[in-house]
Structures are given as C-alpha cells and as structure tokens.
Amino acid sequence: MSGEGARVPDSVGQGVGATSRRYLVAIGARGNASEAVRACSRMADASNSGWHAVHIETPGRSGSSAKPGDGEAMALAARLGATVTTIPATSVVDGLISQVEEHGATDLVMSRPRGGRARLFRPSLAVQLLKQCPGLALHFIPDPIGRTPGPAAPGDGQRETPNPRSYVLSLFLVAATGCAAALVASLFGSRGLDLFFLFPVITAAVRFGVRPGLLAVAASVIVHNVFLVRPLFALSLGSQSLFMLFGLAAVAIYTGMISERLRGRVRLSDRSAKENAAIITFAQELARAANWSETARIVCETLNHMLDVRAVLLREKGGELVVEAAYPTAPMFGPVDIIARDWTWKEGQESGHGTTSMAAADWQFLPLKTGLGVLAILAIARDNGTSPVPADRAVLLATLTALAALAHERLRLEDLAVARGGRRKRARDPGSALP
C-alpha cells in the first residue's frame, strides 16, 4: 500500500489471487474505522477491485451500537467509491459473515484497537470469522499511536431504566398471587404454593426488566413466609425461604436478561426497517427531482423529518454561497457559523457544532462532496442547542448526505452537458446566438 498515512495491515487467513479479490471493510466493529476505510480503499485500488463498507447494528444496552466516528467513516467510504451498507444483526460476527457471503468477499479489513479486552469462554473475532469463512483473508489495521478514544455515545453502557410504575405493578402482581395462594391454601393446604410465585416473578422480569423482577422476588418471599408458612404473620426466614429466594432470583435475572436482549433486537429491527424504507423513499424522490431547488427542498425536509433537525442547503451562485433551501425556517448564521461555513466550502471537511473544527459554532456544516469536488453544503442544527446528531444517528446522517451528494453530482453533470451542448450548437451555427 502507498499514500499518506499508509499502514501495513496484519493479515490472517489464506485469501486468493489478487485478480479475483473482493474487499469488505467493517465500520464500527472495533478501533478507528476511518483508518480501516482508507486502507481498504488503497488495497482495492491496487488490485483494481470493487469494495464494500458495512456497518453492523447490534442490539446494545442502549439500543444502539454506533460510535461517534462511524458516521464519518461511512461518509469517507462513500466518497472513496465504496458501496455503503448498514444492516441489523444479533452480533457483529453474524453480521459480518452474512455480508462476506452476500458480497463474495475474499478480504475483510477492520481496525484492531490497542489494549482490547479479552473475553473468557468466547473465541476471538478472528477465530470465529475464520471458522465460518475458511478462505477469508483478514486484515487488521493498527490504530494510530497515541490515539485516544472518542467520547462515548449518550447512554452507551447503560440499561433502560424502568419507571416507578413498573415497580408498583410488580408488587401488585405479587399481591394478587398471594391472595390466590391464600385461597388455595384454605381449601387444599399450603404445600407446594411457593411455585405460585414463579408467575409474578417471571411476568415482572419479562415485562419490566431485571430490577422489577428482583423486587417481585423479595416481595414473593416475604408474602409466602408471612401469610402461607406457619406460624402465620411471623417473618422467620428459614432454609425453605432462603432456597425460594435464591431460586426465584436466578429465574428473575436470567429471564430479565433474555427478555431485554429480545426487546433490543425487536427495537433495532423495527428502527432499521423504518429507516431503510425512508432511505428508499428519499432516493426515489431525489431521482425524480428535476432541478437544484427541488432537490435542495427534498434534502432539507427529509433531514428534518428523520433526524429532527433544522436543515439548510447552500450552494454557490455568482461566486457566493447562497441558501438554496431551508426547512422549517430560514437560518440565522452568526460570525462563527459564517467562518465555519466558508472553511467547509474551501477545505471540503465538516465543521461547526459537534465536530472538532470550530465547535463553538451553533450549526454543523457538512460538505456534499463527490469526485467533482464540493457541490454544496448542508447545515444542520437543533433549536435547544444540543449536538445536531447523536452518535447513534451519525451513520444515518452519513447515508443521507451521500445520497444528497450523488443527486447534486447528477445535476452538475446535467448542467455541464447542457452547457457543452449549447457551445457546440453555437460553434456549428454562429448566427443562432444573434437576436
């Protein structure tokens, strides 16, 4: 590999000849994704092969697995000519295996973080991939020395917090079960009634989570000991009650964890389905747009509806940047915003709020950039002053901006074709330009 910032990857696996290679780069699976994207682009260019970039969404604790740099890496891959895909999967390994098989990839590129954590009783990612795809060549790109991890996405590493109503309903389930158990005890005796309390514990753990389930466990043990174990109305935790406590707690923890995973998968699948449908609609609307103004309006309205941001699209007219469209209201740029806007237009890099360049600005500016250069600038902001796009929405933003950039490239090529056709007509018939 060659070029600025080139790094020699650590390769694992056999691979195949360069003439039949197909490259796949994993974004977000580990480490610095942008370095992996650049390396994959260089390897694909060297062998004159196509390549794909994939971001795997897994049901994490907060319902998102995206990191702040994923959107930037996706946008970079689109600019470098990759086919960009975002797919939901139960795990990173399952998602990567499905993409390797779908694209017939022979080489998988990903970044290897320094000082990664080992997992007990679980094979490494490389071992799992090579076991399922024996002919795959893995290329691990080392992270830059001295690189520090970016800020964590909001909510990463935190479970969904149950609301107080969940705890109240859990206690109500235990109370109802206790009343039913007391009625059965008066008719048939109290033997085996501790199994009754599996119902409120499992229901609370499945419906509300682990913590309400554990509250149901504690309440169940107390209700059973006080109202169903002789002497009645006396709390004395003997061996039977302790066995019931530990047994129900194990059931609540296991059931709650499995249920949370399933809920995360359902939320992720639903969100991915809605986003994919919206992206397809967006692409179709852009294809039907006939001019710059209509295209800009579609882009701004779509970003507002999908990301809940104020959106403005600017392009150059007469040597100046002007607003082509804005939704829902016209923008008010401050002095720092204007500086960031002009810098983005000149350098072709994002700037403003939520980025590392001129972060004091109120707006975030994103270049719509293709092989023809920077064609327009997209500005986004929130009314409450927070970061325009959180980390878990960065990949969606990168996909939308890539589609918008391609639509503007089509318009620019059409304008160039019309202008070239007009010059040829005047060259063939000079008198046609005369009034």
Residue 16 shares a structural domain with residue 136 = yes
Q: Do the domain assignments include residue 112?
A: yes
What pLDDT does 200 receive?
A: 94
User: Over pLDDT 90: what percentage of the chain?
Assistant: 39
Domain assignment of residue 308, given as a range: 292-422
Structure confidence by residue, pLDDT tens digits, 168-224: 999 999 999 999 998 988 888 777 788 889 999 999 999 999 999 999 999 999 998
What's the CATH code of the domain at 35? 3.40.50.620
Q: Which two tokens stand for residue 314?
A: 């600017």
Confidence (pTM): 0.61
What pLDDT does 430 receive?
A: 59
Q: Which two tokens stand for residue 119?
A: 């997992």
Residue 106 shares a structural domain with residue 72 = yes
- Residue 147, pLDDT > 60, answer no
Structure confidence by residue, pLDDT tens digits, 51-86: 988 888 877 544 444 555 777 787 788 778 888 777
Least confident segment among 20-34, 98-112, 296-310: 20-34
Residue 255 shares a structural domain with residue 364 = no
How many structural domains does the chain have?
Answer: 3
Q: Do the domain assignments include residue 414?
A: yes
- Residue 87, pLDDT > 90, answer no
Question: Cα dist. 57→62, 71, 112, 193, 370 in Å?
Answer: 12, 13, 19, 44, 26
- Return mean pLDDT, the chain: 82
Q: Do the domain assignments include residue 150?
A: no
What pLDDT does 168 receive?
A: 93
Residue 361 shares a structural domain with residue 393 = yes
Cα separation, 333 vs 391, whole angstroms: 24
Task: Tell me the angle at which helices 164-188 and 210-227 cross, rounded to the nearest 10 degrees.
Answer: 30
Structure confidence by residue, pLDDT tens digits, 338-396: 999 999 999 999 999 988 889 899 999 999 998 899 999 999 999 888 888 877 688 78
Residue 296 shares a structural domain with residue 417 = yes
Structure confidence by residue, pLDDT tens digits, 397-408: 888 999 999 999
Residues contacting residue 294 through CB under 8 Å, at least 6 positions apart: none
Residue 135 shares a structural domain with residue 205 = no
Cα separation, 246 vs 272, whole angstroms: 39
